[in-house]
Structure 1
Amino acid sequence: MTSTGQRRGRRIMMTAAERDAFLAAERTCRVATAGADGTPHVSPLWFAWDGTSLWLYSITRSRRWAQLRERPRLSVVVDAGEEYGELRGVELTGTAEFVGEAPRTGEPCAELEAPERLFARKNFGMDAMVYDGRHAWIRLTPESLTSWDFRKLGLG
């Protein structure tokens, strides 16, 4: 990358506070996994961000779940904007960690109390989860995190 590109990258990078606010507001992410032969698979999913980790509530019979069980590396993108000058987003990469029982039936799990409350409020306007016996939790604590906000370029 050229130094101009690097300067631009730093200029459009979100601050930690901007990133946290963005991830708290957005609902849908795109989760990228890989099959046994390396074929990529990308699927949309709702999530919650706790300021440190991205929490994904995935169907346990999904292709995504099976691939992450075999190969836990993943990349997730959360983005927004329609016009070029409005584009903004965050890419998080790391290793999936499976938390709680699978599928989730509501067994007490202290580690899930906060993310479940965040997820239920954000996506359903409720204070507690309703379990369907089909989903379970995946935590992504990013090893790398990249953000961009083209609105900072002042193009619009």
Structure 2
Amino acid sequence: MEQHVIVAELSAAGAQELLAATSMAHLAYNAEDGTPRVIPVGFFWTGTEFVISTATTSPKVAALRARPDVALSIDGGDTPEQARALSVRGRASVEIVDGLVPEYLAAARKSMGAEAAAEFEKNCREMYDQMARIAIVPSWVRFYDFGAGRMPKFLKELAERNREQRP
């Protein structure tokens, strides 16, 4: 996918709202045994990469080093009219960092008040000597806003065909 298309998809107003307001996503990857996994993860969008942080001993760390191709889904909305999704494909890189991954704390601050975030940081600093920083650079992105009619092409074509066939 061309870079300008990726930028356009990520720049859509609804996509920007999802990225700003959401800190949870679903990560799809292949485990070390080759079988697929989809897991909930916290993330932080830096403007160029999605950052996921985890313990260095997490099974996904070794799996992503061996098989870095991933997909990420960020969803929002409680009704069909509000349903939005950002679908991302890319390659993950893993770096072990001393202490806490800065984006890990930034993601937590999106959903916590100052006092709770300070307590969270204190507890994390006691728990982690090191963390794995997983960075996903998007190579393909689609933003869907079902209520606004921004949906996969096959669904749009199906809906149009059904409208044309109605008396």
Q: Secondary structure at the match of 2:14?
A: helix
Which consecutive residues of structure 2, in runs of 5 or more, have no partner in the other structure? 1-8, 151-167
Q: What's the % identity of the aligned pairs? A: 28
Amino acid at match of 1:105: G
1:44-68 CA-partner distances (Å, limit 9, x unpaired) = 0111112221110123222222210
Which residue in the other structure is 2:49 paired with?
A: 53
Amino acid at match of 1:121: R
What TM-score do the two structures reach when normalised by structure 2?
A: 0.67
| Equivalences for residues 1-156 of structure 1 within 5 A | 15-101=11-97, 104-106=98-100, 113=102, 115-116=103-104, 118-125=106-113, 126=117, 129=121, 130-131=124-125, 132-133=127-128, 135-153=131-149
Deviation (angstroms), 1:149: 0.8
Which consecutive residues of structure 1, in runs of 5 or more, have no partner in the other structure? 1-12, 107-111
User: Within 2, Cα distance between the matches of 1:96 and 1:135?
Assistant: 15
| Matched residues, number | 134
User: Within 2, Cα distance between the matches of 1:116 and 1:57?
Assistant: 6
Amino acid at match of 2:82: E
User: Within 2, Cα distance between the matches of 1:28 and 1:116?
Assistant: 12
1:15-68 CA-partner distances (Å, limit 9, x unpaired) = 434312211211210010113453210110111112221110123222222210
Higher helix share: 2
Greater C-alpha radius of gyration: 2
What TM-score do the two structures reach when normalised by structure 1?
A: 0.71
